[in-house]
Each structure stands twice: as C-alpha cells, then as structure tokens.
Chains A and B, each alone.
Chain A
C-alpha cells in the first residue's frame, strides 16, 4: 500500500465529474442559507455529520470488501431524494471510469458491468480506494472530505467568496473530519460482520428537499 495514492484520489482535480456538482450549496445559496464564510462553515458542518458520515461509512465498508450490490441498496435506502440518488449514481459512473483507467482491477470492471448506469458514488469510492491499495480509513477520509470540499469550492464560484476564506472553513473542520471518519470506520467494520444494517442512516432533510427543488430549476450552474 502507498499512502500517496490517497493524495491522487482525494485531489479535487481527480477527473471524476465532481466539478459540476455543488453538494447542495447552489440551492442553499439561492435560499439565503449560505451568504458568506460563516454560513458556509455551518452548512459544511451539517453536511459532514449527516450525508458525509453516511458516505464515509459506505466507502469504508466497500473498501473492506463488503458486497457492493448490498451497499448500493443500503445507499439507496439512505437517500430519500430521487434527484440525489440520480446524482450519486451519475457521479459513481464517472468515478468508476476514472478509477478503471487509474487503478485497473477485475473488481472495478465487474462493478462497471454490474451497474452500467452507475452505483452510488461512495460505494464506488470505497472500491476505488481498495483498488489503489488503500484501506477503509483512507476511503472514509476521501468521502468525508469530499462532502465538504465540494460545497466549499462551489460557493467560491456562486458567491465569488474569497477562496482563502473557503479554504479556512475546510481547515477549521479538520478535527471534526477526524471524528466523523473514526465513527464511519467503526460502523463499516460492524457492517462487514453484521451486514449493511449497521451503517449509519442520518439524513439531512433540508438537503434532500432542496435537492428536489434544485433539480427542477430551469437555469442552474451546477447539476446538483
């Protein structure tokens, strides 16, 4: 295993489609819930401890070798909004393509065949980490970090927010990221023994509701 693979996978420029998604930030900006760096920090904290934790646990479980088909069903069950399910599958499909080009394995090929329209992105992320020789903790770090870095980058574009302020928000969240990853990996290990029912299921209702509204806007900058 090489730790540096984590840097490649977690790099915001990893070409897996994330740049077109705001992680709910576009809807929150329009609704007036994000107006600056302080609100962005609140938004990211909320997302980290809900959708971020679930994604990190799913990614950790996939990296441990849990059945991706079962994990994908578990992700569906934890994603009430059809728009968010669709976005997660689109991103999963894009990620599996990038992953197969970067760290080719029979397991990723099987995933691409089994889910021609994409599996949930965190599940793919966990299998990608596995293919890159990384463990559940690294997979969970990637998922948890993406859950906040996506909205932060998008807000820089949406509000012309000072990019230094947005990056500082992410830096301040680092200790909480550590905690979320710890919880996620513990849950992933339980899921490996007892099945995906052991994975956390904490949703953020406002993210789900706003995602449905956002998907119906005729004009938007981001796909989700």
Chain B
C-alpha cells in the first residue's frame, strides 16, 4: 500500500485560525502561574460559568501526575471526553512554550472528538514566574498569582506578570490572614502592566470568577469577529 499524494484535507501545522475543513477553530486560552495559585480552581469555575452558553474543553499540563485533570473529572465540571491531560516530562514550561507539539495534538483531537468547540482552556501545571505560553499554541493567556504567595510578586514582575493578556490576583479573601496589601498589589500590577487588565478575585466570594468569565467572553467575541 502506498500513500495517497492527492487528497486535499491535510492536518494543520500550528496556530492556523481555521481547521483543515475550513471551519473556524476554537479560541485557545492558556492559564499559567505559580504552584497552587488557583489555576485549576479558576478553570473549574470558568467551566461552570460558561458551559451552558459555550461549547468548551480543557487541556491540563501536569508536572508528573494527572491530578489537575482528575480534579476536574471528579468535580464533573465537564463531561470526561472534554478533558485531556498532556504528559510533560516534568517540564510544563517546555510543553507550553518550547515544544508545543503535544498540546497542539491535544487541542486538535478534542475538536475532532467533541467539536465544534468555541473555547479551549489550557492549564499549565504550576511552574515558575517565567513560564509563558507560546503564541503558536494559545490566542491569549491568563497569569494567575495569589495573595498568599507574597504581595511583592507584582512588583518583581517577570514575563508572566508583565505580559500576560490578563493578570489574576487570586484568593483575595486570604489577604487579611497573610498580611498582604491588596491596594499595593493592584498598584504594582498596574505599574508593571500599563494598559493590560488585572482582576482581583476570590473564588470563595460571591462574585467568584465572574470578572474573568466576562473577559473570556470578550476575547471570544473578538476572536469570532476576526476569524
């Protein structure tokens, strides 16, 4: 048997806005940030907030377990076929930035299996302050830090804090207990980021993930209008 050299629908290579069949692909939004800052909790809350209005799926990049994927499965935020775990060889930052091939496979397989999709959220396992997503993989990225990690993180900056399309300062409910100064964190973030948006949130509070969900809706609207 030989390979057919004439067939038209060749699989996509990278961040092409359209699928091989010409349809628009889902917008891909990455969530990164230090260990335990609340990325998975934010993903779970976004799924609950958006799943009735959008068709969505999640890719997790765990360090060495399937824990993030399993948490989302346990919480039943989405049907299991909409959640995929990528193995990263203990290096999430490599899998989301330097060698994105496994993640591209995962997002394409999700679109094939459960598409058409409007939105794919990609979580990077907690890594370090320099971990950012490749533009070949995601269309926008959210960097999640928390008040308990120290209120000088926005001041120290780093590519995640300064360049992410959205900075989330999570766990504001804990600020009084860990002695973090929210006003200072907000001011430092503003200084480091200029016009780029910042959301302060507590997933334990009433508003929860509402601001981030609104930001996602706006990004999706812009993506749909463009592509």
Contacts and interface: CB of A to CB of B under 8 A. Distances in A.
A16 interface: yes
B5 to A, nearest CB: 5
A124 to B, nearest CB: 12
Interface string B8-28: 011101100000000000000
Contacts of B13: 97, 100-101
**A contact face: mostly helix, strand, loop, or mixed:** helix
Given A17-B99, A100-B13, A219-B65, A22 B89 contact: yes
B227 interface: no
A190 interface: no
Contacts of B104: 97
**B contact face: mostly helix, strand, loop, or mixed:** loop
A85 interface: no
Contact size class for B? 20 to 34
Interface stretch (A39-47, A107-115, A162-170): A107-115
Q: Which of the listed residues B11, B100, B104 has the most CB atoms from chain A within 10 Å of its own CB?
A: B11
Contacts, number: 91
Interface residues of A, number: 38
A222 B88 CA distance: 7
Contacts of A16: 99, 101
Contacts of A223: 87, 89
Contacts of A109: 5, 10
Interface of B: 1-5, 7, 9-11, 13-14, 63-66, 87-91, 94-95, 98-102, 104-105
7 contacts: A13-B99, A70-B1, A97-B101, A111-B3, A113-B11, A154-B89, A223-B87
Closest 8 CB pairs of A and B: A20-B89, A94-B101, A15-B99, A223-B87, A221-B90, A110-B3, A114-B3, A221-B64
